[in-house]
Amino acid sequence: MASLISQTYLQSLAGGALIGLASALYLLLDGRIAGVSSVVSGAIGASAKNQLRNIALLFGLILGPILYRLGFGAWPIVHVEAKLWTMALAGFLVGFGAQLGSGCTAGHGVCGMARLSPRSMAAVATFLVVGMLTVAAMNALGVS
């Protein structure tokens, strides 16, 4: 049991390192911050100049779990416990909030923290604390 648990943490660390590698490659090749919310914005935005690059990155993201399936013979585990209306409202808040706050867990959390950006540190601290309060409040109220 103990080794099983440490194995999942090791997998998390290795998966994280790959996410970091993706962010490093995007910076060294395309010269950009691998922030998924900004990539989404660029993919649906009106400016055609960067649209292809952004759409390609999103397409690659979707390929990721498929490659995982090919490599490990099983899909990554995903348990969606939230009610549909929660998913809908949360999706809207995540999209709008990430744009208003100039970044998400990838842009601020991975890239910004790696650059020791004060704005990213403040954003990460804010969404971590608010995320924890949200989970605690939903648990207390018995909402999912």
Partner 1 sequence: MKANVMAQSLASLVVGAIFGFGLSLSGMLDPARVRGFLDIAGHFDPSLGFVLAGAVAVSGLGYLISRRLPRPALDASFHLPKRKDIDRRLLIGAAIFGVGWGAAGFCPGPAIASLALGIAPIFVFTAMMLLGVAIHDHWPETWRLRARKDADAQA
Query: Which CB, 3 or 79, lies closer to partner 1?
Result: 79
**DSSP per residue, 50-89:** THHHHHHHHHHHHHHHHHHHHHHSSPPP----S-HHHHHH
Q: CA 101, CA 98: separation in Å to the nearest integer?
A: 5
Q: Which of 3, 73, 130, 141 binds partner 1 (CB under 8 A)?
A: 130
Element (H or E) spanning 30, and its range? none
Q: Does 77 bind partner 1 (CB under 8 A)?
A: yes
Q: Which of 1, 2, 7, 61 binds partner 1 (CB under 8 A)?
A: 61
Helix pair angle (36-44, 84-100), 10° resolution: 90
Q: Which of 1, 2, 4, 28 binds partner 1 (CB under 8 A)?
A: 28
CB 94 within 8 A of CB 106: no
Scan residues 82-121 and list those touching partner 1 (CB under 8 A): 82, 84, 86-115, 117-120
Name the minimum Å distance from CB 1 to partner 1: 15
Name the minimum Å distance from CB 37 to partner 1: 5
Q: Which of 7, 78, 141, 142 binds partner 1 (CB under 8 A)?
A: 78
Q: Which residue in the block uniquely carries the two structure tokens 């649209």?
A: 51
